[in-house]
């Protein structure tokens, strides 16, 4: 049949070749990405999201993600006082799309494994070594900010932007955790003892003040001349319990009023 219609065969062949060429020439760059076109393996140009054309066989498309990405890394480091610290670090970062071509040429599409993950490890170890284990707990936000600044400075030359650096957790050895717990218990006992001592001092000062006040009031009363014999007799009667002494005699008075004149 084809021999009877040679022109039809040629047109069909040309249509097939055209479709094949177009299929290898048309490409799509998804949103949030930048395309890098290489020609015979040499970097040629960058293309923005959307449809594009390239030379079949000669040119290849490589997708570089420029959206914010998250990398979580487990890090084991040593504090300044040589305590082993195990942490989980979560970093948000993104590639600067304006330099996607440079990053591909110098590093490649695997820049996460080549640049970001090792930098997180190195920066956190260097930062941790500046603090004691206890300071890593009490100054956690300071440690986080220092590590974030150091990581951003290290990756900026590679056109990787650090957006956030988070320390998910700090884990120490069982021995260190036990020592921290014992220290907290001891500090609490010291505080309790201080409170008791302070209360005892207050009680003692209160008792002294009351005794001094009573003594002063008696002295004022005595010196005022208000202790007349009749008033002293009245005070003695108010303190008498109504029971007569079994023995009286000598110079011992029936009711001693000298206690009110001292």
Cβ-contact 37, 44 below 8 angstroms: yes
Question: Predicted confidence band at 26 (pLDDT cuts at 50, 70, 90)?
Answer: confident
Does 254 score more than 60 pLDDT? no
Tokens standing for 250? 């000598």
Identify the pLDDT of residue 24: 77
Buried b vs exposed e over 16-41: b needs ≥16 C-beta within 10 Å?
A: eeeeeeeeeeebebeeebbbbbbeee
* Owner of token pair 């002063």: 216
pLDDT digits (tens, 9 = 90+) for 143-176: 999 999 999 999 999 999 999 999 988 888 767 6
Residues in contact with 30: Cβ distance below 8 Å, sequence separation at least 6, in sequence order: 49, 63
Tokens standing for 187? 């500090």
Does 210 score more than 80 pLDDT? no
How far is residue 185's CA from residue 195's CA, in Å, rounded to a whole number? 15
Does 97 score more than 70 pLDDT? yes
Mean pLDDT of the chain: 79
- Radius of gyration for the alpha carbons in the chain, expressed in angstroms and rounded: 46
Residues in contact with 43: Cβ distance below 8 Å, sequence separation at least 6, in sequence order: 36, 101, 104, 105
pTM over 0.75: no
Cβ-contact 61, 27 below 8 angstroms: yes
Closest CA to 89 of 111, 105, 73: 73
Cβ-contact 93, 160 below 8 angstroms: yes
Q: Running DSSP on this structure, what letter comes out for residue 114? A: I
């Amino acid at each position: 049949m084809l021999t009877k219609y040679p022109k039809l065969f040629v047109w069909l062949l040309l249509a097939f070749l055209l479709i094949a060429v177009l299929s290898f020439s048309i490409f799509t760059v998804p949103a949030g990405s930048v395309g890098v076109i290489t020609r015979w393996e040499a970097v040629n140009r960058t293309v923005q999201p959307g449809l594009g054309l390239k030379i079949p066989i000669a040119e290849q498309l490589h997708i570089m993600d420029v959206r914010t990405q998250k990398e979580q890394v487990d890090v084991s480091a040593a504090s300044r006082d040589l305590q082993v610290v195990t942490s989980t670090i979560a970093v948000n970062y993104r590639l600067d799309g304006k330099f996607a071509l440079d990053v591909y040429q110098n590093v490649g599409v695997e820049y996460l494994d080549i640049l970001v993950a090792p930098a997180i490890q190195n920066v956190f170890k260097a930062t941790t070594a500046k603090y004691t284990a206890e300071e890593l707990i009490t100054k956690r936000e300071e440690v986080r900010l220092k590590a974030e600044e150091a990581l951003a400075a290290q990756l900026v030359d590679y056109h990787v932007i650090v957006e956030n650096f988070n320390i998910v957790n700090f884990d120490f050895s069982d021995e260190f955790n036990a020592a921290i717990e014992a220290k907290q218990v001891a500090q609490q006992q010291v505080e309790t003892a201080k409170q008791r001592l302070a209360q005892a001092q207050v009680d003692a000062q209160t008792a002294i003040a009351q005794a001094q006040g009573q003594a002063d009031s008696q002295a004022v009363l005595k010196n005022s001349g208000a202790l007349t014999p009749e008033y002293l007799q009245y005070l003695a009667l108010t303190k008498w319990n109504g029971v007569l002494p079994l023995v009286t005699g000598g110079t011992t008075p029936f009711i001693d009023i000298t206690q009110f004149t001292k």
